[in-house]
Amino acid sequence: MPSTLQPTATSDVAQLFALAIAWLQRQEPVKAIPLLEQYTQRVPNDAAALSNLAFAYNETEQFEKSIACARQALKVDPASLSAKTNLGLALRGLGEPTATAEASQLLEEVYRLQPASGEALFNFSLARFDQGTSTRPCKVSRPAENSLATFRRF
């Protein structure tokens, strides 16, 4: 991968998306956002791209923008678990009681559909903690390769 990821003058939409994903993988959401914004302007009904943009906005604490993108992704693909997760996390980020209740419902739904996912359980436990329905959130211990995640209270 080049040391600098820049779209070229001849970039097509696929390259925009690929570069944006590369920046997200490098944990550089600020650099991914403009690329994803350009991509979603050109391809407005790509639920995966909208969900990735919602994720990038979450990472930069732009929760209102994240909510808008995640809701749009869910209009395109109502079954998108990543869009539901990103919407739930953005609503949590707002910290408002109504938003927190909706976040808990979304993250619970994702957990129920992916009960083996440590990330889904972690997100759901945090949402329950926000609502006061759990005394403490769970902390995920990253497991050794090819084993299930373990959880412990902290």
Could you report the per-residue pLDDT of 63-81, keeping only the tens digit for each?
Answer: 999 999 999 999 999 999 9
Reduce the DSSP state of residue 135 to 3 states and report it: coil
Could you report the per-residue pLDDT of 83-128, keeping only the tens digit for each?
Answer: 999 999 999 999 888 898 899 999 999 999 998 989 999 888 888 8
- pTM for this model (two decimals): 0.77
For the chain, list the domains and their CATH numbers: 13-153 (1.25.40.10)
How far is it, in rounded angstroms, from Cα 39 to Cα 140? 34
- Residue 77: CA atoms inside 13 Å, Cβ hemisphere, count? 17
Q: Which amino acid, 154?
A: F
Q: How far apart are the first and last CA of the chain?
A: 39
At residue 129 the predicted structure's pLDDT band, cuts being 50, 70 and 90, is confident
How far is it, in rounded angstroms, from Cα 37 to Cα 24? 14
